[in-house]
């Protein structure tokens, strides 16, 4: 992968990772947080607690980011010559 | 000998005995392979492969925080704390993003401690070296204290007798001290490898047990749906985990935990960049799953099995079967396992329960050993070698490092014992609280680290002033601070409840670092260019 493309992809993945933190554990939580004071709030989604399901969703996105980074951005030429471990 | 609590029979004696024998065996093996040099004692010759590296990084990160603190906090605050697991993938990304550059510089320039790299970059500076060592020590002390405390909690739950807690903390502290002193990094890394497996097993078996106890997945989810609404929403039952608090703890806590001295030295010790790449992926996948589908389920299931109560003052308390003080939330995993596994599964359940208890001990030991070992390096290389006896031989420095390990262990042990037996002096609270304080200190290395690795605009004076301000802010916010009047205490309490204290300190640190750097002269440009080249070039491990 050319150096410039790798750098651009690295920046994109970093930004998306920060977005997952903002959405998964930050202010993004307000989008789905059930309000205990309001009747009819959805405390579960597909049987799972809504907040927990939200966490699983963003974990899946984070995992994809790490795997993409592992197979692209983090694969440097020098690294591939490293002696086996 | 301590008598074992009834449901477990004599199984804990046998399994614990085997586990402790294995630790002794590893330390003897590591000692026999050691080459009596400082680099070998502290970095295992910079030859750690991916399996040992990933498990030792994980085991150092795990600690009793994962097996007692996390389920305890999920038990207290509800489902919101399960989201804390999302700090792990972020930390995993940092293992490569920061670790690979740190490793390359460490190998190219022969560093052993974080202070070696930071002071080499900014220019030889005694105050900066002492500040970096101080951050490391301030991180280590609460972290080792909480691991030793975990040994006491565990012993109290496994054995009967008035002194079970005290015996537990003494045994855990002395055995850990012994194998770190004898075998150095190699011994720490090998034992961490076994301990890493054990604690992943413990986390997953714990979660599975909680689900089985509540009648399988459908029964478990049905029980959760009946929990109080505060337990199923943000900010949880105590109102502590607001999105702002959770976000700052997860982001800055993750980075702070990954650049704390023990982890930093693991980056130096890694054989290649590929080692760290694999470690980052294994860490992200395995550890997050262990949290989300392991211990967090114990805390949530615990709320269904042992409903929370309130004391006369209206303060949230654990169920009396779990604990009688506010610290008792941390007992939830041990109580669920001890009460239910032997009853559900007979002798197999007793064996599994004991394995989980050994995993808790492993979690506590694997973190204490790494931190004691790192502190020994910091105080020997950054203080003794620079200011006390600059001409000391490597052999002498290694022995001084061993004495530092003994001194730190005994100091932490005394702190736990005194705080347990004194009504007036008790800085040791719930495990998570101690952990967050420790990470708040290590987070003060973030501005310098990011500056050296990516930005390269800061100056030595900026780094010194910023770090000093950061440490002072954490100390002011910490429970170690003596009360300075009601009004001030009220302001501090309000600030503590908005965002993580490490982030407040980091804000002050960055602002001062930036401002002072604007008006002072940066490092030699030629050195900055050389650093930039060395940290991106793979060198030294190519065939």
The answer to whether position A81 is within a domain reads: no
Domain that holds residue A68: 3-28+44-75
What interface predicted TM-score (ipTM) does this complex get?
A: 0.92
Residue B50 has pLDDT above 60, yes or no: yes
Of A20, A59, A83, the CB nearest to B543: A83
Higher pLDDT, A38 or B516: B516
The answer to whether position A34 is within a domain reads: no
Q: What mean pLDDT comes out for the span A63-79?
A: 85
Q: CA B88, CA B83: separation in Å to the nearest integer?
A: 10
Helices (H), B327-393: 332-377
Residue A48 has pLDDT above 80, yes or no: yes
Q: How confident is the model at residue B366 (pLDDT cuts 50, 70, 90)?
A: confident
Judge whether B306 and B286 are in contact, CB under 8 Å.
no
Judge whether A47 and A40 are in contact, CB under 8 Å.
no
Q: How confident is the model at residue A77 (pLDDT cuts 50, 70, 90)?
A: low
pLDDT tens string A6-23:
889 999 999 999 999 999
Q: How confident is the model at residue B430 (pLDDT cuts 50, 70, 90)?
A: low
Closest chain B residue to the Cα of A61, Cα to Cα: B89
Measured in degrees and rounded to the nearest 5, phi and psi for residue B453 equal -80, -30
pLDDT tens string B239-286:
999 999 999 999 998 999 999 898 999 999 999 999 999 999 999 999
Q: CA B67, CA B297: separation in Å to the nearest integer?
A: 12
What pLDDT, on the 0 to 100 scale, is given for residue B451? 97
Residue B352 has pLDDT above 90, yes or no: no
What pLDDT, on the 0 to 100 scale, is given for residue B541? 45
Q: Which chain A residues have a beta carbon less than 8 Å from that of B543?
A: 81-83
C-alpha distances in angstroms, B28 versus B8, B34, B399? 31, 10, 17
Cis peptide before B235 (omega within 30 of 0): yes
Closest chain A residue to the Cα of B218, Cα to Cα: A47
What pLDDT, on the 0 to 100 scale, is given for residue B5? 56
Give the lowest-confidence range in B45-59, B271-285, B365-379, B486-500.
B486-500
Q: What stretch of H or E contains B317?
A: strand B316-317
pLDDT tens string B194-232:
888 888 888 898 899 899 989 999 999 999 999 999 999
In this structure, what CATH number is given to the domain that contains residue B332? Answer: 1.20.1730.10
Strand B309-310 relative to strand B316-317, pairing: antiparallel
Q: How confident is the model at residue B428 (pLDDT cuts 50, 70, 90)?
A: very low
The answer to whether position B539 is within a domain reads: no
| B interface test, pick of A49, A70, A72 with most B CB neighbours within 10 Å | A49
Give the number of domains in chain A: 1
Q: How many CB pairs under 8 A join A and B?
A: 154
Highest mean pLDDT among B201-205, B287-291, B497-501, B535-539: B287-291
> What are residue B45's DSSP bridge partners?
none
Judge whether B265 and B43 are in contact, CB under 8 Å.
yes
Of A51, A55, A58, the CB nearest to B233: A51
The answer to whether position A36 is within a domain reads: no
Judge whether B51 and B217 are in contact, CB under 8 Å.
no
What pLDDT, on the 0 to 100 scale, is given for residue B1? 46
Q: Does B309 touch chain A (CB under 8 A)?
A: no
Q: Using CB atoms and an 8 Å cut-off, which of residues 37-66 of chain A contact chain B?
A: 41, 43-44, 47-52, 54-56, 58-59, 62-63, 65-66
Judge whether B286 and A57 are in contact, CB under 8 Å.
no
Give this prediction's pTM.
0.88
End-to-end CA distance of chain B: give it in Å, rounded: 55
Q: What mean pLDDT comes out for the span B515-542?
A: 86
Give the number of domains in chain B: 1
What pLDDT, on the 0 to 100 scale, is given for residue B542? 38
What pLDDT, on the 0 to 100 scale, is given for residue B47? 81
Q: CA B144, CA B407: separation in Å to the nearest integer?
A: 12
What pLDDT, on the 0 to 100 scale, is given for residue B543? 30
Crossing angle, helix B87-97 and helix B273-282, to 10 degrees? 180
Q: Which chain A residues have a beta carbon less than 8 Å from that of B228?
A: 36
Give the lowest-confidence range in B4-8, B211-215, B293-297.
B4-8
Closest chain B residue to the Cα of A58, Cα to Cα: B86
Q: How confident is the model at residue B80 (pLDDT cuts 50, 70, 90)?
A: very high
Higher pLDDT, B185 or B175: B175
* Mean of pLDDT over chain B: 86
Contact A69 B93 (CB under 8 A): yes
Q: What mean pLDDT comes out for the span B379-385?
A: 88
pLDDT tens string B106-137:
999 999 999 999 999 998 778 899 999 999 88
Q: What percent of chain B has pLDDT over 70?
A: 93
The answer to whether position B100 is within a domain reads: yes
Residue found by looking up tokens 């074992």 in the block: B4
Q: What mean pLDDT comes out for the span B34-52?
A: 78
The answer to whether position B124 is within a domain reads: yes
Domain that holds residue B519: 3-421+428-534
């Amino acid at each position: 992968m050319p150096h410039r493309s790798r750098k651009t992809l690295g920046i994109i993945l970093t930004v998306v990772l920060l977005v997952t933190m903002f959405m998964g554990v930050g202010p993004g939580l307000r989008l789905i947080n059930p309000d205990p004071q309001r009747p009819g709030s959805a405390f579960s989604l597909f049987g799972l607690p809504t907040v927990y399901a939200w966490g699983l969703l963003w974990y899946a996105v984070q995992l994809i980011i790490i795997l993409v980074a592992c197979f692209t951005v983090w694969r440097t030429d020098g690294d591939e010559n490293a002696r086996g471990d | 000998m301590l008598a074992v609590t009834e449901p477990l029979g004599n199984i804990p004696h046998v399994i614990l005995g085997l586990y402790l024998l294995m630790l002794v065996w590893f330390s003897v093996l590591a000692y026999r392979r050691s080459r009596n040099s400082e680099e070998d004692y502290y970095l295992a010759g910079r030859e750690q492969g991916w399996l040992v590296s990933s498990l030792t990084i994980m085991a150092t990160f795990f600690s009793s925080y994962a097996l007692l603190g996390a389920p305890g906090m999920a038990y207290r605050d509800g489902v919101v704390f399960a989201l804390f697991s999302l700090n792990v993938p972020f930390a995993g990304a940092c293992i490569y993003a920061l670790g690979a550059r740190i490793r390359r510089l460490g190998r190219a320039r022969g560093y052993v401690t974080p202070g070696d790299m930071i002071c080499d970059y900014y220019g030889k500076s005694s105050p900066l070296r002492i500040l970096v060592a101080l951050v490391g020590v301030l991180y280590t002390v609460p972290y080792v204290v909480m691991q030793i405390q975990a040994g006491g909690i565990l012993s109290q739950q496994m054995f009967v007798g008035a002194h079970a807690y005290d015996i537990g903390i003494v045994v855990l502290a002395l055995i850990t001290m012994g194998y770190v002193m004898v075998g150095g990094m190699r011994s720490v890394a090998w034992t961490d490898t076994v301990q890493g497996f054990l604690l992943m097993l413990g986390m997953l078996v714990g979660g599975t047990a909680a689900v089985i106890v509540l009648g399988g997945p459908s029964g478990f989810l049905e029980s959760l749906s009946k929990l109080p609404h505060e337990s199923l929403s943000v900010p949880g039952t105590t109102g502590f985990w607001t999105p702002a608090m959770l976000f700052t703890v997860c982001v800055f806590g993750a980075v702070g935990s990954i650049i704390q001295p023990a982890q930093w030295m693991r980056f130096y010790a890694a054989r290649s960049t590929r080692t760290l790449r694999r470690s980052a992926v294994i860490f992200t996948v395995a550890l997050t799953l262990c949290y989300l589908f392991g211990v967090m389920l114990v805390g949530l299931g615990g709320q269904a099995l042992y409903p929370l109560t309130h004391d006369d003052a209206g303060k949230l308390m654990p169920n009396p079967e779990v604990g009688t003080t506010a610290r008792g939330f941390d007992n939830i995993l041990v109580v669920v396992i001890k009460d239910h596994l032997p009853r559900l599964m007979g002798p197999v359940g007793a064996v599994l329960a004991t394995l989980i208890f050994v995993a808790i001990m492993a979690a506590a030991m694997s973190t204490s050993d790494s931190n004691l070992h790192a502190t020994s390096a910091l105080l020997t290389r950054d203080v003794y070698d620079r200011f006390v006896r600059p001409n000391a031989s490597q052999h002498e420095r290694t022995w001084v490092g061993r004495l530092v390990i003994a001194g730190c262990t005994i100091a932490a042990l005394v702190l736990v014992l005194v705080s347990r037996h004194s009504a007036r002096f008790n800085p040791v609270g719930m495990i998570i609280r101690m952990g967050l304080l420790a990470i708040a200190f290590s987070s003060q290395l973030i501005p310098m680290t990011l500056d050296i690795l990516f930005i390269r605009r800061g100056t030595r004076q900026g780094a010194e002033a910023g770090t000093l301000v950061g440490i002072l802010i954490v100390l002011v916010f910490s429970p170690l601070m003596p009360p300075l009047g009601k009004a001030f205490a009220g302001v501090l309490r309000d600030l503590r409840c908005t965002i993580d204290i490490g982030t407040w300190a980091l804000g002050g640190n960055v602002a001062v670092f930036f401002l002072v750097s604007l008006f002072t002269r940066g490092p030699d440009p030629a050195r900055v260019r050389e650093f930039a080249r060395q940290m991106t070039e793979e060198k030294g491990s190519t065939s």
